[in-house]
Amino acid sequence: MKSEGGPKKQDGKQRRKRRRAHVMVAFIKLTLLEAVTEFLWSDGPESLLIPGGSDILVGPRPFTDKHILIDISQVTELKKVTVGAGGVLSVGVGLTHQEIVDHPVIRRRARLLQLACGRVGSIQIRNRGTLGGNLGNASPAGDSIPALACLDARVVVAGRSRRREFDLLSFFTGPGETALQVDEVIESVQIPEREGRSVAFFKKAGQRRGMCCSKASVALLARRRSPKSLSDVRVALGAVAPTVLRIPEVEQVLEGRRLTPAVIREAAEACSRAANPIDDIRSTADYRRQVVGALLTEGLFEIADHMQLLEQRRRSAKRRGRRR
Amino acid sequence: MKALKTVGRRPRRLDAEAKVLGELVYPSDRCLEGMLWVEVVRSAHPHARIESVDTSAAAAVAGVVCVLTAKDVPGENAFGIQIQDMPVLCHDRVRYMGDAVALVAAESRAAAREAVARVRVDYEVLEPIIDPEQAMQPDAPALHPGGNILHRGHFQKGDVEVGFKKSAVIIERAYQVPMMDHAYLETEAGVSYYDDSGSLTVESCGQYVYRDQTQIARALGLPLEKVRVTAPYTGGAFGGKDEITVQIHLALVTYHTKRPAKMVLSRDESIVSHTKRHPARMWYKTGASKSGKLLAVWCRLVSDTGAYASLGGPVLNLMMEHCAGPYLVPNVSVDGFAVYTNNGFSGAFRGFGCTQACVAIESQMDLMARALRRDPLAFRRDNVLHKGDRAALDYEMKTKVGAEATIRAAGRGKLYRTRGKFKRDRSEHTRSMAPYIKRGVGVASQMQGLGLGVGLPDYAEVELNFSPDGAVTVRASTSELGQGAYTAYAQMAAECMGVPLEKVRVVGADTKTTPDSGTTTASRTTYAVGNAILMAAGKLRAELDKRAVGLEGISVRETFHLPVADVKLGDGLPHLLYSYGTHVALVEVNTLTGEIAVLAVEAYLDGGRVIFRTGFEGQSEGGVAQGIGYALFEEVLFDRGRFLNTNFDTYILPTSMDVPADIRTVPVEVKEDTGPYGAKGVSETCMVGVTPAILNALHDAIGVRFTRLPVRAEDVLRAVLERRR
């Protein structure tokens, strides 16, 4: 939930200099959403919101002594989970990743979000970092974003006496950049209800297993249409483009088709083609392109195995029934 | 022999309670009344000439007490363990990004940092020398007066050409290993002040207080007795605090201001400035007969020592000494070069050259076993060195050799014996049943010289005091770096004085109150200090028989001189004593994503008799983690001499999730005749073999030989795709 007022990301040289200087900043804690929006309205450009602080405390500090840090980790309105008209699930973005993972309502209605939040960083980071922080940072590697993209989530932001709603992917305008105004705070994500039995996975490749930032990630959400095929397939990729991508090409390949090895290969290839990654200190563009396909393959094989297992169980139950 | 009461058991560590309660004071915890914060102005370029240094703006910052430059170094503006080629503060030239150009001391850290940013240094930027091969060329610009080759060596045994002619299988490969950071928990830190007797005192994080004292006194132009250095407890070192880090800078500030001073390096500054593991390139050609006998090892080793010497020479010597592993080879030829470049600065690090060589020779051994279709452990066992054999550099192995015992123990171990089952059976260590998951088991065996080796002063003096209440105090100047050595000292003192462990106290690392026990390096402290304790205890018991204990108790001092080889091939070359070890690793490779998981490691370690069992296992488990880091994750990256990853967000260390829960450490206790209770040391052996065991397991899993570390998922996937084509 970075305020737009903070200076933009700096290159390495400037960053080193910045790190050397000690900075004294004002720090306040607000507990009412109204107080936060009021404060942002009057002092927006100078303020920096801290939902969990897992980035700001350790990273290159994106603030100067002119800044006011606002701790919003205790704003109760941001921690609400409700189910509204039409079965829309509203998740307050002040929840930590671990709170999302442990939440029974989210488990029933948005399991994919839990799968993704459960893979963020480490247990320490999941205990502090929030969904709002993950969205506000707008990193293409943010783990919750591909999951929310598959869930067709909408983002609600609050300003002083106004609210705006965005389609999730249109909320992100570039790496580290969002449509959030300086006087606004992200309030919740709205997840529409889905019919039928869902299957979902979130897979990521990182530099190591613990405490790890995604080199590439894949989220998939679909309905089990028949014992052997999927429908209403959504696939989103993280860390392989300036922002998270939904991949309709892959979705079309999988739509309604049996999960045979040939179909899975076709989907993986489409996935790799759709990726537009870069080389950086964590990995290479080549690897990222290949691994999104690999992650999708792994996930689809697991789903195919799982569906086969269910089918076997169903059949043997049927047989037992007949015998009786 | 009498049954031992304390030695070999698992007592609670002496420092356990203080550490768990957070009461133990580490150098970075120290705070003194009226102390100044010291910050360093480091070089802005990997290679440049300094044209001018303007400190006026920095001195004007509120709270700044002094800004010091090269002209303020009263003694010799140079330090270095072996060759003093590194300036305390650079005056004409900088050779790496960590070079110190000026010091700022201020009332607050904020003011000191502010002033650092205001010191103006004008540089004439020079082309950095980044390739060791080019640096060796005669026309390359010289970084030091003697040229860029810090040290070279050539050794020959037999005739390799004859060996290769007789060989049925010849394997040739080039290996490349990266620069590695020690990644100790506590960065370099300390305080300095004048003590009551007027000695300039530095409480710091070093690994040898007496050498630090010498280096400080030389730089400040003070007599030794006017300098006092202490370093009893430090948050990890692994060799990275063997060289001077903050000590001279601290002393310099106190010398000029007469005030106490404190320094704690940030992680970025730590990674940029301190010595690292030498990156190296190693070319190997090895041959064996059809019957599986090693016939020849030829190798060329080039280690990049970076900007200054530190221990680059001795590290290369050990790399050459251990170039053929713990094996009997009739024909050996080795050429080694340690070369100056502008790539950071390298020095001592757990394994000390053996680590690099072991990666190469153990890969070669595996490749040869494969080519001969021999069991990799049996092939090693058939070629292993024994006492009386002539080692790779053609000297006789005169002490007990435990290599074969560790190999045999590894062969009896569960992991190796049932490796077929581990590779097939997914129920144990289960991650996935999928067909694209491949498993492999690899082994590696190694030896590691103990002590500094021939030609370097290597002794340990300790003081033992018996007080009227029956308590025993051990005074030794080695440091407790986390390894648990003080507990081992206490166990040995309790055992030989016949007192319970609770009655023993250990006072460590203070040039004023403890005698010179040598370095806390080279797997030597348990062996060297232990022997001195045994000698002193004998003398103390004799004294106790003769006279009554007065109020001050009875104190005795004894010095143990480490036995050395009767030949000298170079500084620290060769050793008389070695520790041995064989590691077995089980890895799993996801051939879709290239990801690697180490599922289990077994360590069979001959460090002689184990004194402190829990400490022994702790060393081994830490060694496994570090060996995994070297194999799969860790590498300091450079762009033309500039560091790219100076913090743990981009310098990737293994986490608890990346280290297997299943680490089995088995002591193979080949009792050393000259060791205290038969002990040697284990602190390096426990890490060195882990890395090649993982490489060999990877080969077993997917049939690909990796010759460049670290092996990343990117490398695995590229190799898997290439094989498929």
Q: Give me the tens of pLDDT residue by residue for chain A, a chain 324 residues long.
A: 433 333 333 343 444 444 444 567 788 999 999 999 999 998 878 888 999 988 887 766 667 777 889 999 999 999 999 999 899 999 999 999 999 999 999 999 999 999 999 999 999 999 999 999 999 999 999 999 999 999 999 999 999 989 999 999 999 999 999 999 999 999 999 999 988 889 999 999 999 998 889 999 999 999 988 888 999 999 999 999 999 999 999 999 999 999 999 999 999 999 999 999 999 999 999 999 999 999 999 999 999 988 888 888 989 998 888 776
B161 reaches A (C-beta below 8 A): no
The shortest C-alpha distance from A207 to chain B (Å) reads 7
C-beta separation of B299 from B323 below 8 A? yes
B113 Cβ under 8 Å from any chain A Cβ: yes
Residues of B in contact with A287 (CB under 8 A): 594, 713-714, 717-718
pLDDT the model gives residue A322 = 77
Disruptive mutation site among A211, A264, A284, A306 for chain B (greatest number of B CBs within 10 Å): A211
Name the amino acid, one letter, at B381.
Answer: R
Structure token digits, residue A163: 């609210």
Q: Which residues of B touch A284 (CB under 8 A)?
A: 714
- CB contacts of A294 in chain B (<8 Å) are 592-594, 717
Interface test with A, best of B118, B714, B722, B725 (most A CBs within 10 A): B714
List every span in chain B annotated with CATH 3.90.1170.50. Answer: 35-126+182-273
CA distance B685 to B696: 18
CB pairs under 8 A between A and B: 78
Q: What single string gives the DSSP state of each residue in B320-343?
A: HHTTTTTB--SEEEEEEEEEE-SS
Residue ranges with strand state E in chain A = 26-29, 47-50, 68-71, 81-83, 89-92, 154-159, 162-167, 172-174, 177-178, 185-191, 198-206, 214-224, 230-238, 245-246
What would the DSSP string read from start to end of A132-198? Answer: HHHHHHT-TT-THHHHHHHTT-EEEEEETTEEEEEEHHHHEEETTEES--TT-EEEEEEE----S-E
Whole-number CA gyration radius for chain B: 26
Confidence of residue B432 (pLDDT cuts 50, 70, 90): low
As a whole number of angstroms, the distance between CA A144 and CA A149 comes to 9
* Residue A42 burial class via C-beta count within 10 angstroms: exposed 0-12, middle 13-18, buried 19 and up: exposed
Residue B534 parent element (H or E): helix B525-546
Nearest CA in chain B to A216: B593
**Cβ A21–B113 below 8 Å, yes or no?**
yes
Q: Do A295 and B652 touch (CB under 8 A)?
A: no
Residue B544: which residues within 8 A CB-CB, separation 6 or more? B466, B554
Question: In chain B, where does the domain assigned CATH 3.30.365.10 lie?
Answer: 280-452+570-724, 459-561
* B111 to chain A: closest CA residue: A22
- Secondary structure E strands in B375-431: none
Residues contacting residue B247 through CB under 8 Å, at least 6 positions apart: B190, B202, B204, B206, B212, B215, B216, B229
> Chain B contact for A290, CB < 8 A?
yes
Q: How far apart are CA B408 and CA B190, in angstroms?
A: 46
- The answer, yes or no, to whether residue B329 has pLDDT greater than 70, is yes
Q: Do B268 and A211 touch (CB under 8 A)?
A: no
Annotate B18-44 with DSSP letters as a single string: HHHTT-S--GGG---TTPEEEEEEE-S
Residue B652 has pLDDT above 50, yes or no: yes
Using the Cβ of B117 and the Cβ atoms of chain A, whether some distance falls under 8 Å is answered with yes
- Give me the pLDDT at residue A23, please: 61
CB contact under 8 A, A205 and B595: yes
Q: In this complex, do B114 and A297 lie within 8 Å of one another by their Cβ atoms?
A: no
What are the residues whose beta carbons fall under 8 Å from the beta carbon of B212, sequence distance 6 or more? Answer: B202, B204, B206, B229, B231, B244, B247
Of the pLDDT bands very low, low, confident and very high (cuts 50, 70, 90), residue B1 is: low
Burial class (CB in 10 A: 0-12, 13-18, 19+), A65: exposed
From the list A19, A59, A208, the residue facing B633 with the nearest CB is A208
Task: Tell me: pLDDT of B687 over 90.
Answer: yes
* CA-wise closest residue to B491 among B503, B507, B475: B503
User: Quick one: chain B helix, strand, coil %, rounded to 5?
Assistant: 30, 25, 45
Out of B109, B645, B649, closest to residue A22 by CB: B109
Tokens of B419: 């490796």
pLDDT at A6: 35
| 573-632 in chain B: CB under 8 A from chain A | 590, 592-595, 597, 632
In total, chain A counts a number of residues equal to 324
Lowest mean pLDDT segment, chosen from A188-197, B39-48, B95-104, B477-486:
A188-197
pLDDT for residue A321 = 82
Confidence of residue B393 (pLDDT cuts 50, 70, 90): very high
Q: Which of A194, A195, A131 is nearest to A168 (CA)?
A: A131
* A16 Cβ under 8 Å from any chain B Cβ: yes
Chain B residues touching A283 at Cβ < 8 A: 714
Find chain A residues with C-beta within 8 A of B266's C-beta: 19
pLDDT single digits (tens) B213-259: 999 999 999 999 999 999 999 999 999 999 999 999 999 999 999 99
pLDDT above 90 covers a percentage of chain B that reads: 95
Distance in angstroms (rounded) separating the CA atoms of residues B603 and B446: 11
- Characterize B217-244 residue by residue with b for buried, 16 or more Cβ atoms within 10 angstroms of its Cβ, and e for exposed: bbbbebeeeebbbbbbbbbbbbbbbbbb
pLDDT(B73) > 50: yes
pLDDT at B331 over 90: yes
Cβ distance B592 to A284 less than 8 Å, yes or no, reads: no
For domain B280-452+570-724, say whether CATH 3.30.365.10 is its number: yes
CB contact under 8 A, B655 and A282: no
Neighbours of A32 (CB within 10 A): 13
Provide, as residue numbers in chain B, all residues whose Cβ is less than 8 Å from the Cβ of A205: 593, 595, 713
The minimal CB distance from A205 to the residues B114, B593, B656 is found for B593
Q: What is the mean pLDDT of residues B694-722?
A: 97
**C-beta atoms of A22 and B110 within 8 A:** yes
Q: Which of B434, B632, B644 sits opposite A281 (nearest CB)?
A: B644
ipTM exceeding the 0.85 mark = yes
CB-based contact B593 A284, cutoff 8 Å? no
pLDDT at B551: 84
What average pLDDT does this structure show over B322-333?
A: 98
Q: Can you tell me the distance from the alpha carbon of B271 to that of B691, in angstroms, rounded to the nearest whole number?
A: 22
A323 in reach of chain B (CB within 8 A): no
Q: Are B459 and B561 in contact (CB under 8 A)?
A: yes
Q: Is the CB of residue B44 less than 8 Å away from at least one CB of chain A? A: no
Taking the CA atoms of residue B398, residue B403, residue B409 and residue B413 in that order, the dihedral angle to the nearest 10 degrees is: 160
Give the pLDDT confidence score for residue B279 in this predicted structure. 98
Question: Would you call A22 and B114 a contact, using CB atoms and an 8 Å cutoff?
Answer: yes
Pairwise CB contact (< 8 Å): A284 & B714: yes
Lowest-pLDDT range of B501-510, B545-554, B677-686? B545-554
Q: Which fold has domain B35-126+182-273?
A: Aldehyde Oxidoreductase; domain 3 (3.90.1170)
Q: What pLDDT is attached to residue A44?
A: 79
Percent helix / strand / coil, chain A, rounded to 5: 40, 25, 35
Q: Which CATH architecture has domain B459-561?
A: 2-Layer Sandwich (3.30)
CB contact under 8 A, A297 and B592: yes
